[in-house]
């Protein structure tokens, strides 16, 4: 289900990692991950993305790669522990997809989860909870002047 909060279209049938602003779709122990519609707008234009080439198994919060947007470089932290089984080649070739189609072509990775049972508590999953979190995030961003009111 998709709801609109301010101008942002937010899918509430997905899980969200509030710390890193990821959406997460989980199907049979595999999590597909992308960026929330707010972070994809406020980060500016994504220029480069590079996944960690040294390994494919990550603990929660470990860096699965780094990306550059408008001159700042940061890391993508694994929202859940597991093995990266797919990286989105389209987004590697064109990181702008993170900005333009974050729920669709702009997904990041798929992770085969290794500790789903214990780690789901870190995610938001209730529709109302997601809505409140997102509204608060927008409010915070508006107050700071990072997005137009």
Instruction: Give contact residues for other proteins (rule: CB under 8 A).
Output: 42-50, 61-63, 66, 68, 70-75, 77, 92-96, 99-100, 140-141, 144, 146
Q: Which of 58, 48, 53, 54 is nearest to 92 (CA)?
A: 48
Which residue, 42 or 114, is less far from other proteins as judged by CB?
A: 42
Q: How far is the CB of 40 from other proteins (least distance, A)?
A: 13
**146 close to 113: Cβ distance less than 8 angstroms:** no
Q: How far is the CB of 77 from other proteins (least distance, A)?
A: 6
Which residue, 26 or 138, is less far from other proteins as judged by CB?
A: 138
* Whole-number Å distance between alpha carbons of 52 and 15: 24
Q: How far is the CB of 46 from other proteins (least distance, A)?
A: 8
- Read off the tokens for 33: 């991950």
* Residue that the structure tokens 């500016």 belong to: 44
Which residue, 2 or 149, is less far from other proteins as judged by CB?
A: 149
Helix (H, G, I), strand (E, B) or coil at 104: coil
Which residue, 59 or 132, is less far from other proteins as judged by CB?
A: 59
**97 close to 64: Cβ distance less than 8 angstroms:** no
């Amino acid at each position: 289900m998709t709801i609109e909060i301010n101008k942002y279209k937010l899918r509430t049938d997905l899980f969200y990692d509030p710390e890193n602003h990821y959406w997460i779709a989980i199907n049979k122990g595999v999590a597909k991950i992308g960026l929330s519609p707010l972070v994809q707008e406020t980060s500016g234009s994504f220029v480069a993305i590079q996944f960690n080439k040294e390994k494919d198994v990550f603990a929660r919060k470990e860096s699965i790669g780094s990306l550059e947007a408008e001159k700042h470089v940061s890391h993508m932290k694994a929202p859940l522990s597991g093995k990266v089984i797919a990286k989105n080649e389209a987004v590697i070739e064109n990181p702008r997809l993170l900005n333009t189609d974050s729920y669709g072509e702009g997904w990041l990775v798929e992770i085969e989860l290794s500790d789903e049972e214990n780690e789901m508590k870190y995610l938001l999953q209730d529709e109302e909870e997601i809505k409140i979190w997102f509204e608060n995030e927008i409010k915070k961003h508006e107050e700071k002047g990072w997005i137009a009111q």
